[in-house]
Amino acid sequence: MGNPVSAAETGSDADDYLSADLRARVENLKVDMAAAETTTATAPQRAQTTWEWINAYSLTGGYVPVNATLTVASILAYQPSPAGNANLDATIRELSIVADDPDAIGTLSATTGPFEAASFAEI
């Protein structure tokens, strides 16, 4: 694990959706992710922190990355695997982006269509 980050260093306060302890663990997770990819040894602890983070963030009504709960639950319930570890890393990166800036990904909308099956269309 990287250098521990304290709750005071994160700017955690009463308006934060994370408790001070979970905020510190999430910030440490981000630092650790920047330093090294998830391994079989680090996967369970990272998955547990991510699980708690996802649950707290979901209560804000914010976007939770697709398959995030499946990815984390599979690591917590079964043996970590290289593919699962890579998926966890992608989930943590995406959750970091949307949790730090909910408008970072934006919205996709389409007003064209319907499209005919087995045909080409410009989108």
Q: What is the average pLDDT score of the chain?
A: 87
Q: 4-18, 63-77, 81-95 — which is least confidently predicted?
A: 4-18
Q: Are 40 and 85 in contact (CB under 8 A)?
A: yes
Residue 48 to residue 64: CA distance in whole angstroms:
16
Per-residue pLDDT tens digits for 97-119: 999 998 887 777 777 778 788 88
Task: Tell me what pLDDT residue 14 has.
Answer: 64
Going by the DSSP 8-state scheme, the letter that residue 65 receives in this structure is P
Q: How far is CA 74 from CA 43, 44, 88, in A?
A: 11, 10, 10
pTM: 0.76
Residue 95 pLDDT: 95
* Residue 43: closest CA among 87, 3, 2, 5: 87
Sign, CA torsion 38/40/41/44:
positive
Structural tokens at position 25: 């663990």
Quote the tokens at residue 35. 């330093």
Quick check: 82 pLDDT over 60? yes
> Over the stretch 30-48, which tens digit does the pLDDT of each residue have?
999 999 999 999 999 999 9
